[in-house]
């Protein structure tokens, strides 16, 4: 059995995050020692490592919940897991397109900068007037206008 501090060290997940995952049901309630200290079996440490890795790959908590549910049923076909991964890949590709558009717009703004004073700065002009942008599709990832 592992203490919460040992689990945090083993997985690289902070203690408050481990407690949060317990609260939202991604991790089972831990066993408690006589002194009420949380004690975790190796199975929970492995589950937390799964969650951490999935988060590093950008999966949302609801998607991770679904993947964990699937992993708890090893005899099921993996079509549902494939669908979740495909959706994640689609989201990553969308963010990459947005980042590429951002990069192009920033590069264009910098290249057009004439130097001199702020009153003539092309970067300030473009940021002040979105219609001067080359593309409309460069909202930052996560922006919801």
- Residues 71-125: tens digit of each pLDDT: 988 898 899 999 999 999 999 999 999 999 989 888 888 887 767 777 777 777 7
Give mean pLDDT, residues 2-28: 95
Q: Extract the tokens encoding 11.
A: 């997985």
Residues 51-77: what's their mean pLDDT? 94
Residue 65's Cβ-count burial label (10 Å; 0-12, 13-18, 19+) is middle
Q: Which residue has the higher pLDDT, 135 or 94?
A: 94
Phi and psi, residue 14, nearest 5°: -70, 150
For residue 35, is pLDDT > 80? yes
Residue 133 has pLDDT above 80, yes or no: no
* Rounded Cα–Cα distance for residues 77 and 73 (Å): 9
Three-state DSSP class for residue 3: strand
Query: Model pTM?
Result: 0.73
Model pLDDT, residue 139: 59
Q: CA 87, CA 67: separation in Å to the nearest integer?
A: 13
CA–CA distance, 112 with 36 (Å, rounded to integer): 64
pLDDT at 143 (0 to 100): 57
């Amino acid at each position: 059995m592992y203490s919460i501090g040992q689990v945090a060290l083993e997985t690289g997940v902070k203690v408050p995050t481990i407690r949060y995952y317990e609260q939202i049901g991604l991790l089972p309630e831990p066993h408690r020692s006589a002194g009420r200290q949380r004690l975790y079996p190796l199975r929970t440490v492995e589950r937390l490592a799964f969650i951490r890795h999935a988060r590093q790959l950008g999966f949302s908590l609801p998607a991770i919940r679904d993947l964990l549910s699937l992993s708890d049923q090893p005899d099921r076909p993996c079509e549902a897991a494939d669908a979740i991964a495909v959706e994640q890949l689609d989201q990553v590709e969308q963010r990459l397109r947005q980042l590429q558009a951002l990069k192009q717009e920033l590069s264009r703004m910098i290249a057009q900068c004439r130097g001199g004073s702020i009153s003539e700065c092309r970067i300030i002009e473009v940021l002040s007037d979105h219609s001067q942008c080359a593309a409309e599709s460069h909202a930052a990832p996560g922006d919801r206008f």
